[in-house]
Amino acid sequence: MRIRILGCSGGIGAGSRTSAMLIDDDVLIDAGTGIGDLGLSDLDSIRHVFLTHAHLDHIAGLPMLADRIFDENFETPLTVYAREETLRAIKDHLFNGVIWPDFAKLPSAARPMLRYHVCSPGDTITIGHRNFYAVDVMHSVPSLGFTVQNSGGVFAVSGDTKTNETLWPVLNSCHDLKVLVIEVSFPDEMGNLAADSGHYTPKTLTDDLQRLQHEPEIWLTGMKPGEESKIYEQVLKAAPDKNIQMLSRGTVLTV
């Protein structure tokens, strides 16, 4: 399983792209601005999108992706997997015929190119050789993390979250956890804002990492532009015994 990081920033500017990860060549986890750097043939290969939640930095590229791959004579639709609350937000506020065409009714309501699949915490979606398991996490809106398992092991992504009681038992149950991508958006000095907006700081993240019973590669994502160096230094200082690296656009992870 090949995971290509298309975007991993908490914002835009100076080459930053927001959350999007391409699994092999057909599955996205999140569809932020990072998907805009893909070539046309790469975009055309995507048929599955797992969304962690409905915030704009995680869905901004989805309307343009649907537009790009739309084909009246399609063979395989584009399926979006997310919590019911996330899908409702997308239907009401994005693909609503005002902000963007409703591709769930095109080319016809009976045979739409864009389809929705409710994915609730605890659900497993199997696509080819990969099992996507949805994990409840604690953010400012209903959100999911995911574990992705194949024969090589488990890749996990937290989505946006703060201290929670649900992610860590799931990760500990993954006895072949190879890679964990986890967000940490604000430095410790902005702890109140992080808590109010549902994000980790270095302190809250490293406190939670003490619960992890495995030793995977840990990659940090979702940092606010301009704060990356400070956040990374604070994480390394607080958890010097962990294998922690800072994710960057273009990184390729293999499981």
Which H, E and C letters describe 88-146, residue by residue? HHHHHHCCCCCCCCCHHHCECCCCECEEEEECCCCCEEEECCEEEEEEEECCCCCEEEE
- Which among 131, 133, 49 has a CA at the least distance from the CA of 86? 49
Six-digit token string for 120: 């609730």
pLDDT for the residue 147: 98
Query: Cis omega (within 30 of 0) on the bond before 240?
Result: no
Contact between residue 1 and residue 24 where contact means Cβ atoms under 8 Å apart: yes
Write out the chain's pLDDT in tens, 255 residues. Answer: 999 999 999 999 988 999 999 999 999 999 999 999 999 999 999 999 999 999 999 999 999 999 999 999 999 999 999 999 999 999 999 999 999 999 999 999 999 999 999 999 999 999 999 999 999 999 999 999 999 999 999 999 999 999 999 999 999 999 999 999 999 999 999 999 999 999 999 999 999 999 999 999 999 999 999 999 999 999 999 999 999 999 999 999 999
Contact between residue 187 and residue 230 where contact means Cβ atoms under 8 Å apart: yes
pLDDT for the residue 255: 96
Q: If you search the block for the tokens 């399609």, which residue do you land on?
A: 74
In angstroms, rounded to a whole number, what is the distance separating the alpha carbons of residues 76 and 188?
46
Total number of domains in the chain:
1
pLDDT for the residue 216: 98
pLDDT for the residue 29: 98
- Which among 221, 158, 229 has a CA at the least distance from the CA of 187? 229
- Which among 139, 201, 208 has a CA at the least distance from the CA of 180? 208
**Residue range(s) defining the domain that contains residue 99:** 2-254
Domain CATH number, residue 127 = 3.60.15.10
CA distances from 151 to 21, 28, 46, 135, 212 (A): 20, 19, 22, 20, 22
Question: What is the reported pTM?
Answer: 0.97
DSSP 8-state class, residue 224: P
pLDDT for the residue 14: 83
